[in-house]
A and B are shown apart, each in its own frame.
Chain A
Amino acid sequence: MPLVAVIAVMNFFWLRLAPGDLADVMAGEAGAATPEYLAALRHQFGTDQPLGLQFLAYLERIVHLDLGWSFRYNESVLQLIAGRLPATALLMISALVIALVLGCLAGTIAAVSRHRWVDVAVSILATLGFATPLFWLGLMLMVLFSAHLHWLPAGGILTPGVAASGWAMLRDLAAHMVLPVFCLAAYYLAIYARLMRASVLEVSGLDFVRTARAKGLSRVATIRAHVVPNALLPIVTMTALQFGALFSGSVAIETVFSWPGLGQLALDAVASRDLNLLLGILFFSSVLVLAVNLIVDLAYGWFDPRIEVER
């Protein structure tokens, strides 16, 4: 809780270091402005108040879990976040699941087939995935699958204006998801594959694995029951640490694929100096990252009974 409060306070002052405000931006977009127009805008946004008063008002709102009003969108910040969250959550969770499952699988296979062609292939792919910039990969995939082959839509989350429901909608959604999810997953898949490979190799050399083999367990059964569960621990740690990074990766993906999620909303908020909205998103995402880390800390106990949560 104190951490959340510190983050909230720091956000408020930090964001004010950026020159210019929403009134500048809206007047800039209008192509002209009179002082009266600017004054009307600043009065409406409340930015004509002294900073101290603005800060007090902000604190009071945060305490009541009221994230405020976005003057850019003319909507409450909470509503805006709630509206965009499902799209981002869908993107992140699918990418995370795919990256975890395939990454661990690839890493394990690479480790047990050490130095054979499978291992080399996985390692090369992982290095490529690790080194490719997300937005570039996204654009290239889009050029291939959407512009040349016409298999997949070039962006968006659903085909606009088609009021499909049930299976038709799911299929439409899935088709729109393929490229962005794969693209976001690629990088993390590479990380998890490399990490899992190293981890499996390390665990394979430990005494209890030799014991398991010695008592007559087959190679496959040993890997499944003894090696993999023990090798998973560093992956769990990494997942928690990278949750925040995944969020920032999704900003790039959302922009390239016109995915109407939180990342795009945050980017818009920065560019237009929509402070309330930006503060809201930052507050919300910091709480989210903290919550995920907490959950993962608790999950250690389940993955490894040797670790006990202190009560």
Chain B
Amino acid sequence: MSTRREFLIKAGVITGGSLLGQGAWSASSAATGTTLVANTLPEPAGLAAGSTPANPTNVVSSNLFDGLITYDEAFRPVPQLATSWTESADRRTITFTLRSDVKWHDGVPFTSADVQYSIMEVSKKVHPIARPTFAQIVAVDTPDPHTVVFRLAQPSPVIWSYLDTSSAFIFPKHLYAGTDPLTNPYNAKPVGTGAFVFKEWNRGNYIRLAKNPDYWDKGKPHVDELIFRIIPDASARSIALQNGNVQYAPLTPVSLVEARRLEQNPDLVIDTKGWRSNAPMFFMDFNLRQKRFQDVRVRQAIAHAINLKQLTKTVFYDFATPATGPVPSYQSRFYTADTPQYPYDPKKAEALLDASGFPRGADGVRMRFNHLNHTYGEDFQRAGQFIQQQLKRIGVEVTLENYDLPTYLRKIYTDHDFDTMNVFYAAFADPQIGVIRRFWSKNIISGAPWSNGSGYTSAEMDAIVETIQTAQDPEQRTQAIHQLQVLAQRDLPSISLAELKFFRIYSRTLQNVNTTPIGVYASLDSVNLGAPARG
């Protein structure tokens, strides 16, 4: 240590001394009580997940708001605000018994009326994902303050995958009733039921939460203060994680290369398990409104020309595995590997293109098209470059186009002004939420991002999708989901390329981080700081 002190003294002399007199800078030096410093990115637009449904909001919001239930490792429901539940024999009535000792952070008791308001007035009206997912819920009854009854038009198993706080968000009715939930000022100073209470949002800087002393789960949370710092630059985030200024960064905070480097750092944990319920699936879409892409042989040829193992290795640094179909293997309850596959085979690809009327021209080129890269970072630009190089070998000339998010969305989902594109969709916990939207013809919605962008329309597919949505019997439903995977691979309207493994990075000193499939969306109420971070 003496060398470092000498160094500091010299530095103090050089810089005039006064500023640096305090000495080494580390996270622990400033804290009074225990503080957990986390990161969210980019800065959220609001802090209540029900009115701002986006990842940067979700990771903060789950600490402020509890859900009816949460999920365990096998994605089975676990009590949170609801202590127990029963489903009627015909599966059209679900009854939840609520905890009776829960108060909102302003002291008002939490009751069944809050649940009724949130599901019927917000989720079913304005939430972009809950609205279709809860389509079968026709009423929410409140026989007494601690009992809630969901009444369904048809049995709807998908609901059971969408009941935690990042999905079926519960608002305080007394602060939201009669207002527009999207613009309610409490979205920026939330009053919740969760383990932490909101203290301060210093825009562009940090969000500060403090321990909820009246939390129903006695003994939790284990830290006094929870801070989410806003750090816009990825390299700066990496440095903050390495020197302990940030101990928990759930939203894939650094580039993939940097993550592989940080893996060597004994102080940090890189975890992909907490992202399983999000299950991002990376794929390439064709604009099927164009005649040349309507021939399935053309699409098969492209699929045969892309080496998926190489793609996951060189582009995603193994933070991905080759996909076998549209449903990711994370969704083990629904996944099947038994589908048509298109192994890497450039010769076969060329033969298919010859057969479908695209021989090599005088310049060796069979076909030219553009390719819009997804805008969420350079990994997707690299993926586009990889596809470009692979297709060049079979005589297909690809022009890459990079835009920012609003332009990209406009071109694909509103103007349909593209030939091919790459993108990932979160598959979420149930294919009905995140997978069927790629293939259902009723999900060709002009202007709606992440809908059926290719314009794929198939009566056979629509029938399967509608069976998934309305099947009475879970077994029959799983069968239909298997059929969807087979048909999607046979028709190949879109090439499922890779199951992405997003990650979070946290300090190894943190204990009891939630590692269930919904880990990144879960509260940090159980987390212990452990030994102080390395200075």
Query: Is B222's CB within 8 Å of the partner chain A?
Result: no
In whole angstroms, how far apart are the Cα atoms of A176 and B183 in the complex?
A: 34
**CB-CB under 8 A for A32 and B243, given A27-B128, A264-B204, A265-B204:** no
Contact between B185 and A151, CB atoms less than 8 A apart: no
Question: Nearest chain-A residue to B246 (Cβ)?
Answer: A154
What count of chain A residues pass the 8 Å CB interface test?
67
Closest CB-CB distance, B75 to chain A, in whole Å?
19
Closest CB-CB distance, B380 to chain A, in whole Å?
14
**CB-CB under 8 A for A150 and B37, given A84-B204, A161-B225, A178-B19:** no
In whole angstroms, how far apart are the Cα atoms of A146 and B182 in the complex?
A: 40
In whole angstroms, how far apart are the Cα atoms of A32 and B433 in the complex?
A: 9
Query: Is A35's CB within 8 Å of the partner chain B?
Result: yes
Contact with A along B124-142 (1 / 0, CB 8 A): 0111110110000000000
Query: Is B78's CB within 8 Å of the partner chain A?
Result: no
- In chain B, positions 429-486 with a C-beta closer than 8 Å to chain A are 434, 437, 445-451
Query: Is A197's CB within 8 Å of the partner chain B?
Result: no
Of B171-179, B212-220, B228-236, B394-402, the segment with at least 4 beta carbons within 8 Å of chain A is B228-236
Contact between B227 and A36, CB atoms less than 8 A apart: no
Contact between A28 and B405, CB atoms less than 8 A apart: yes
Contact between B236 and A161, CB atoms less than 8 A apart: no
Contact between A38 and B447, CB atoms less than 8 A apart: yes
Contacts of A41 in B (CB 8 A): 182
Contacts of A160 in B (CB 8 A): 37, 202, 205-206, 208, 227, 229
Contacts of A257 in B (CB 8 A): 233, 236
Contacts of B239 in A (CB 8 A): 142-143, 146-147, 154
Contact between A34 and B132, CB atoms less than 8 A apart: yes
Most buried by B among A161, A174, A265: A161
What count of chain B residues pass the 8 Å CB interface test?
80
Contacts of A175 in B (CB 8 A): 19-20, 22, 25
Contacts of A248 in B (CB 8 A): none
- In chain B, positions 47-105 with a C-beta closer than 8 Å to chain A are 52-56
Contact between B236 and A152, CB atoms less than 8 A apart: no
Query: Is A244's CB within 8 Å of the partner chain B?
Result: no
Contact between B448 and A35, CB atoms less than 8 A apart: yes
Question: Nearest chain-B residue to A267 (Cβ)?
Answer: B232
Contact between A18 and B406, CB atoms less than 8 A apart: yes
Of A27, A29, A73, the residue contacting B203 (CB under 8 A) is A73
Contact between A20 and B243, CB atoms less than 8 A apart: no
Contacts of A28 in B (CB 8 A): 405-406, 409, 449-450
Contact between B449 and A154, CB atoms less than 8 A apart: no
Query: Is A10's CB within 8 Å of the partner chain B?
Result: no
Query: Is A129's CB within 8 Å of the partner chain B?
Result: no
Query: Is A44's CB within 8 Å of the partner chain B?
Result: yes
Contact between B183 and A44, CB atoms less than 8 A apart: yes
Query: Is A157's CB within 8 Å of the partner chain B?
Result: yes
Contacts of B535 in A (CB 8 A): 150
Contacts of B235 in A (CB 8 A): 139, 142, 256
Contacts of B225 in A (CB 8 A): 161
Question: Nearest chain-A residue to B199 (Cβ)?
Answer: A161
In whole angstroms, how far apart are the Cα atoms of A144 and B535 in the complex?
A: 15
Of B126, B208, B245, the residue contacting A36 (CB under 8 A) is B126
Contacts of A38 in B (CB 8 A): 447-448
Query: Is B267's CB within 8 Å of the partner chain A?
Result: no
Contact between B25 and A33, CB atoms less than 8 A apart: no
In whole angstroms, how far apart are the Cα atoms of A41 and B183 in the complex?
A: 10
In whole angstroms, how far apart are the Cα atoms of A71 and B188 in the complex?
A: 12
Contact between B203 and A162, CB atoms less than 8 A apart: no
In whole angstroms, how far apart are the Cα atoms of A44 and B46 in the complex?
A: 16
Contact between B410 and A260, CB atoms less than 8 A apart: no
In whole angstroms, how far apart are the Cα atoms of A60 and B465 in the complex?
A: 51
**CB-CB under 8 A for A37 and B450, given A25-B406, A260-B205:** no
Contacts of B409 in A (CB 8 A): 20, 24-25, 27-28
In whole angstroms, how far apart are the Cα atoms of A149 and B227 in the complex?
A: 24
**CB-CB under 8 A for A161 and B53, given A25-B405, A150-B243:** no
A27-B449, A154-B243 known, 19 other contacts, Cβ within 8 Å: A20-B407, A24-B406, A28-B406, A41-B182, A71-B183, A73-B188, A80-B203, A139-B233, A149-B11, A150-B24, A150-B26, A154-B245, A155-B231, A162-B30, A162-B31, A255-B232, A256-B233, A260-B204, A261-B204
User: Can you list 20 residue pairs at the A/B interface with Cβ under 8 Å?
Assistant: A20-B406, A20-B410, A28-B405, A29-B53, A72-B45, A150-B24, A150-B535, A156-B205, A160-B202, A161-B35, A161-B37, A161-B206, A161-B208, A161-B227, A162-B31, A171-B19, A258-B233, A258-B236, A271-B405, A272-B45
Counting from the closest, the 6 A-B pairs by CB-CB distance are A20-B406, A260-B204, A29-B54, A160-B206, A260-B205, A19-B410
